[in-house]
Amino acid sequence: MLELRNITKIYNPGTITEMCLFDSFDLVVGDGEFLSIVGSNGSGKTSLLNIICGSIPIEQGEVLIGGDNIAKMQDYKRYNKIGRVYQNPAMGTCPHLTILENMSLADNKGKTFGLTSGINKSRRKFYQEQLAILGLGLENKLDIKVGLLSGGQRQALALIMSTLTPIEFLILDEHTAALDPNTAEIIMQLTDKVVKEKKLTAMMVTHNLRYAAEYGNRLIMMNSGEIVLDRAGQDKLETSIDELLQLFNKISIECGN
Amino acid sequence: MNNLLDLLISTLTQGLVYALLSYGVYITYKILDFPDLTVDGSFPLGAAVTAVMMTSGFNAWLTLPASLLAGALAGLITGIIHVRFKVRDLLAGIITMTALFSINLQIAGSNLIVDRNTATIFTSPVVEKILGSTSLITRKLVVSLIIVLLAKVVLDLYFKTKSGLLLRAVGDNSVLVTSLAKDKGTVKIIGLVISNALVALSGSIVCHEQRAFSSTMGTGQVVFGLATVIIGATLFQKFDIIKGTTAALIGSIAYKAVMQLAISLGLPANLLKLITAVLFLAILIFGNYQKKNAGRIIQKGSSHA
Ligand SMILES: Nc1ncnc2c1ncn2[C@@H]1O[C@H](COP(=O)(O)OP(=O)(O)OP(=O)(O)O)[C@@H](O)[C@H]1O
Ligand SMILES: [Mg+2]
């Protein structure tokens, strides 16, 4: 279980640009929940994920995983349990390394990076199978530098890499935003499949209200650092895209956006 | 004719010996994306350690591991200053470099000459036995070549290990390293350690070659290293298969050849650094020009400390 308790996040504290984004923010995400997060630009979705992953400091509050407070734990240690795909396709892969090298790195997560061979030839087949699921032909390009791939291809690779080893949490930040509609659909279905198969707890930020409504078993909408809608189970199933859109517009108008 | 051959051989030897420094700069500048100025201090550090050991009667070969170790320590310090105390990369290097200047003076004074009777790695009994009657200049070439190629093979093998792969990843996209649950700071420190160990080794061999240490011998070595790495990269831009270490090696030889040519053509030694600066600028401009023409496809992932 993932729990955020009484979180305060202030950007640029003590300066004229000081901005309090979260004030006594609480959120509980149960094991196996697939939580979709929607909300207008600047509502704090990425910041929320950054707080969970330890990418940004918080002023106050607790981040609990399985009851342990990890608010002071360094970011990289948290990733033992977390896989993450970023909004920016460049963040999830190494451009100057080949697909094979990138996959090998991802495959070794959680183990030591010692003086044994970086690439395990016998895993080639396995990587190819994993990449073939994407249907992008990446399985035939193992020796190509990742920087030569398109943004969408890189993003797809990043998703495969982030879930290659056992993790508990999958954190996705608009991970389909850079993809064409077809690839986006494939990636969404793959995401859903991986989350179910590996029984992950997932948090997915998206601007695609249809994905938010269709996928996952819980949905929250955020607005300036607050949760303004939280639906799970049957309620979530009955939430239509139209209803989401109406609510989204209503909030936007109220806030003068 | 003989003179010319000697000149060629000694120029080549210079290029080889300094290639070790280029490997080091290749690791920090090209792989880690870290402009490391420690080099100006760790290069003479290797020479200082070597000169002192030789004049104190240590076996010549022992100076090599000792210099490696000393350089590694210098890299470790820069790494800790940068990673743990969050000092910017350039400044972290400058701090260590400045400190090393005094430390080198402490170790070996401002100048230290190794006398003619002391065996260097080039005149050591083992080398005498194997290379026998060949001239000193040939022996210098052969021994340097062996050391430099050995270092290259070891480095190339290292880059293929898991640790080496992680090192390459951290300069390419440090965010990914964090996602792999690894501390990117530690990986950077490892890179700086290896780099400066090589740089000090280069200083050590130069000391063997010249039989002398001078406290100012580090000045401009960073620029030399950067220039050679960039020459190498520019020359082989189109050849993806050429290894970075090979490019650095050839860059180093090319650089020393150009400098030797300039001297042979009567350029006053006082102007050498000026020529270095001009050459360096020319390489950078040429490199940028080529890049623009090629239309950069591969974009660097964000990499911050
Ligand atoms: N590093 C930062 N420094 C100062 N303010 C920041 C910083 N990062 C985010 N903010 C502010 O925090 C607020 C929330 O930003 P955040 O990136 O979390 O929004 P988001 O919901 O992810 O938006 P988007 O949908 O555009 O990705 C914004 O008002 C933004 O300006
Ligand atoms: Mg965002």
| Residue pLDDT tens, chain A, 257 long | 999 999 999 999 999 999 999 999 999 999 999 999 999 999 999 999 999 999 999 999 999 999 999 999 999 999 999 999 998 889 999 999 999 999 999 999 999 999 999 998 999 999 999 999 888 999 999 999 999 999 889 999 999 999 999 999 999 999 999 888 988 998 899 999 999 999 999 999 999 999 999 999 999 999 999 999 999 989 898 888 899 899 888 887 776 55
What pLDDT is stored for residue B303 in this prediction?
Answer: 36
What pLDDT is stored for residue B286 in this prediction?
Answer: 78
**Secondary structure of chain A as H, E, C letters:** CEEEEEEEEEECCCCCCCEEEEEEEEEEECCCCEEEEEECCCCCHHHHHHHHHCCCCCCEEEEEECCEECCCCCHHHHCCCEEEECCCHHHCCCCCCEHHHHHHHHHCCCCCCCCCECCCHHHHHHHHHHHHCCCCCHHHCCCCEHHHCCHHHHHHHHHHHHCCCCCCEEEEECCCCCCCHHHHHHHHHHHHHHHHHCCCEEEEECCCHHHHHHCCCEEEEEECCEEEEEEEHHHHHCCCHHHHHHHHHHHHHHCCC
CA A173 to ligand 2 center in whole angstroms: 7
What pLDDT is stored for residue B295 in this prediction?
Answer: 45
CA A52 to ligand 2 center in whole angstroms: 14
What pLDDT is stored for residue B298 in this prediction?
Answer: 40
What pLDDT is stored for residue B269 in this prediction?
Answer: 81
Alpha helices in B109-183 (DSSP H): 125-131, 136-159, 162-172, 174-179
Nearest-CA distance from A103 to chain B in Å?
11
Does B289 score more than 50 pLDDT? yes
Atom of ligand 1 nearest to the CA of A40: 25
Closest among A176, A160, A212, A169 to A87, alpha carbons compared: A176
What pLDDT is stored for residue B302 in this prediction?
Answer: 37
What pLDDT is stored for residue A106 in this prediction?
Answer: 97
Atom of ligand 1 nearest to the CA of A222: 21
Nearest-CA distance from B40 to chain A in Å?
29
Identify from B156, B167, B178, B187 which residue to disrupt to test chain A contact, counting A C-beta atoms within 10 A and taking the largest count. Answer: B178
Whether residues A96 and B161 touch (CB distance < 8 A) is answered with no
Nearest Cα residue in chain B from A90: B301
Whether residues A97 and B298 touch (CB distance < 8 A) is answered with no
Identify from A113, A115, A123 which residue to disrupt to test chain B contact, counting B C-beta atoms within 10 A and taking the largest count. Answer: A113
CA gap B31, A4 in Å, rounded: 38
What pLDDT is stored for residue B297 in this prediction?
Answer: 40
Nearest-CA distance from A248 to chain B in Å?
32
Whose C-alpha lies nearest to ligand 1, atom 8?
Answer: A47
CA A164 to ligand 1 center in whole angstroms: 29
What pLDDT is stored for residue A127 in this prediction?
Answer: 97
Whose C-alpha lies nearest to ligand 1, atom 1?
Answer: A11
Residues from chain A that touch B158, judged by Cβ atoms under 8 A, are: 115
Return the CATH superfamily for domain A31-50+76-254.
P-loop containing nucleotide triphosphate hydrolases (3.40.50.300)
Does B134 score more than 90 pLDDT? no
Chain segment B244-261, per-residue pLDDT in tens = 999 999 999 999 998 899
Q: Which residues fall within 8 angstroms of residue B4, CB to CB, at 6 or more apart? A: none
Spatial contact of B31 and B191, defined as CB atoms under 8 Å apart = yes
Whether residues A162 and B183 touch (CB distance < 8 A) is answered with no
More confident residue, B68 or B126: B68
Q: How confident is the model at residue B77 (pLDDT cuts 50, 70, 90)?
A: very high
Residues from chain A that touch B160, judged by Cβ atoms under 8 A, are: 117-119
Nearest-CA distance from A55 to chain B in Å?
10
Nearest Cα residue in chain A from B31: A96
Q: How confident is the model at residue B236 (pLDDT cuts 50, 70, 90)?
A: confident
Mean pLDDT estimate for chain B: 91
Whose C-alpha lies nearest to ligand 1, atom 26?
Answer: A41
Nearest Cα residue in chain A from B155: A115
Mean pLDDT of B154-176: 96
Nearest-CA distance from A108 to chain B in Å?
8
Nearest Cα residue in chain B from A81: B181
Tell which phi-psi region holds residue B98, choosing left (phi > 0), alpha (psi between -120 and 50) or beta. alpha
Q: Residues enclosing ligand 1, CB less than 6 A?
A: A 11-12, 19, 21, 39, 41-47
Q: How confident is the model at residue B1 (pLDDT cuts 50, 70, 90)?
A: low
What pLDDT is stored for residue B304 in this prediction?
Answer: 37
Whose C-alpha lies nearest to ligand 1, atom 2?
Answer: A11
- List chain A domain ranges: 31-50+76-254
In chain B, which residues touch A (CB < 8 A)? 158, 160-166, 168-169, 172-173, 175-184, 297-302
Number of compact structural domains in chain B = 1
Chain segment B86-111, per-residue pLDDT in tens = 999 999 999 999 999 999 999 999 99
CA B209 to ligand 2 center in whole angstroms: 58
Structure tokens at B162: 């898991």
CA B271 to ligand 1 center in whole angstroms: 53
Tell me the pTM: 0.92
CA gap A198, B180 in Å, rounded: 18
Highest mean pLDDT pick, A185-189, B72-76, B267-271, B282-286: B72-76
Whose C-alpha lies nearest to ligand 1, atom 10?
Answer: A11
In chain A, which residues touch B (CB < 8 A)? 74-80, 83-84, 86, 90-97, 101, 104-106, 108-110, 112-119, 145, 147-148, 162
Whether residues B161 and A117 touch (CB distance < 8 A) is answered with yes
Range of the structural domain that residue B70 is part of? 2-304
Phi first, then psi: give them for residue B14, nearest 5 degrees. Answer: -55, -50
Number of H helices, E strands in chain B: 12, 2
Give the CATH number for residue B101.
Answer: 1.10.3470
